[in-house]
Amino acid sequence: MRILLTGGCGFIGSAVVRHSLAATGHEIVNVDKMTYAASEDALEAARGDPRHRLIRADIAEPGAMREIFATYRPDAVMHLAAESHVDRSIDGPAEFIRTNITGSFSLLEAARAYWAGLGAAARARFRFHHVSTDEVFGALGPTDPPFTETTPYDPRSPYSASKAASDHLVRAWFHTYGLPTIVSNTTNNYGPWQFPEKLIPLVTLNALEGKPLPVYGDGSNQRDWLFVADHAEALLAVLERGEPGATYAIGARQPRSNLEVVREICATLDDLRPDPAGPRERLITFVADRPGHDFRYEIDPSRTAAALGWQAKHDFAAGLRRTVAWYLDHAPWWQALRAERYGGERLGAA
């Protein structure tokens, strides 16, 4: 297939590019606005691969999207481009509305017009895969069953509300216009090339530098953690074998509280690069909770596993060790980002 992939220089998108080129014969047309969280370095070998093209464009610009469809004539779309950091959505929701809602609408309309002009066989093969989050489902209590494909929507932050809106648009374009769309919802991803404002790289780098490790509230909020390479593999399975109109829940069955994650990062760093000052748990600092902080997310991936034959390969301990070691080995990349975009200051809290 020739896949039009939006957000392919982001954390998850770049993992999809790397996996696609290494494990399949697909071509990738990578459309990325190249915002603060995008990195061409994360493409690795794809930067010189003739099956990969990088196009700098904004999905919220309808004319640009129509031109890209007309020029490259994709067989499928995988839509990953999004503003995704909850703390940023609280401080400035406007860009989340523009990218996640208006941008998704623009992309859907360009895809619909292109799809309508295809021949019958190409129309039947075409897919529009929209990649979403478990945060659209709201928050789970301590004993609630995990989210599934049929969990009612209950978004709590500007970020999750904007993603919920885009999910609804994608399903409406399937039911109203017949555009063959698929939605997948996933839980927290982690792994190499993740932007340093996110929890695991933030804590890893602060701990490495002997800085405070701020933890929201008492650290009991829980997330299900999925290694990004496993997610990339799942997304290709959804695109290749998923049914139009269906939803696929993608998770790893690896729940941890935020405090457990921070402590495991500290222990992993202590093992890989001991600190003469002592165990890094001494750096943990509890701070005031953020507004609307959802207590727990967890996904039940049973339907996806049964329908697509996919399951996550990495347990959290192995994936975390691989991730921490990657950041230790790639200091020039994250040091440059911190110096350029943040002046080296602390980026947030867990």
CATH code of residue 82 = 3.40.50.720
Size (the chain), residues: 350
Q: Give the C-alpha separation, 285 to 272, whole Å.
A: 22
Q: Give the C-alpha separation, 309 to 149, whole Å.
A: 17
Whether residue 107 is contained in a domain is answered as: yes
Mean predicted confidence (pLDDT) in 9-26? 98
Q: How many CB atoms lie within 10 A of CB 317?
A: 12
Whether residue 217 is contained in a domain is answered as: no
Whether residue 208 is contained in a domain is answered as: no
The predicted pLDDT at position 177 comes to 98
Q: Give the C-alpha separation, 153 to 137, whole Å.
A: 4
The predicted pLDDT at position 292 comes to 76
Whether residue 36 is contained in a domain is answered as: yes
The predicted pLDDT at position 342 comes to 56
- 310-326 tens-digit pLDDT: 999 999 999 999 999 99
Among all residues, which ones are annotated catalytic?
134-135, 159
The predicted pLDDT at position 347 comes to 46
- 193-247 tens-digit pLDDT: 999 988 999 999 999 999 999 999 999 999 999 999 999 999 999 999 999 999 9
Q: Give the C-alpha separation, 162 to 9, whole Å.
A: 21
- 102-139 tens-digit pLDDT: 999 999 999 999 999 999 999 999 999 999 999 999 99
Q: Which domain holds residue 41?
A: 2-194+225-254+297-314
Element (H, E) at 220: none
Whether residue 308 is contained in a domain is answered as: yes
Domain count, the chain: 1
Whether residue 200 is contained in a domain is answered as: no
Whether residue 265 is contained in a domain is answered as: no
Share above pLDDT 70 across residues of the chain, in percent, rounded to a whole number: 97
Q: Which two tokens stand for residue 160?
A: 């999750």
Element (H, E) at 262: helix 258-272
Dihedrals phi, psi of 54, to nearest 5 degrees: -105, 125
pTM here is: 0.94
Inter-residue long-range contacts of 143-149, CB under 8 Å, 24+ positions, other chains counted: 144/296, 145/300, 146/224, 146/251, 146/298, 146/299, 146/300, 147/185, 147/249, 147/297, 147/298, 147/299, 147/300, 148/249, 148/299, 148/300, 148/302, 148/303, 149/185, 149/246, 149/247, 149/248, 149/249, 149/303
B/e letters for 245-271, b = 16+ CB within 10 Å, e = fewer, are: ebbbbbbbbbbbbbbebbbbbbbbbee
Whether residue 190 is contained in a domain is answered as: yes
- 252-302 tens-digit pLDDT: 999 999 999 999 999 999 999 999 999 999 999 999 987 878 899 999 999
Closest CA to 226 of 6, 15, 7, 9: 15
Dihedrals phi, psi of 71, to nearest 5 degrees: -80, -45
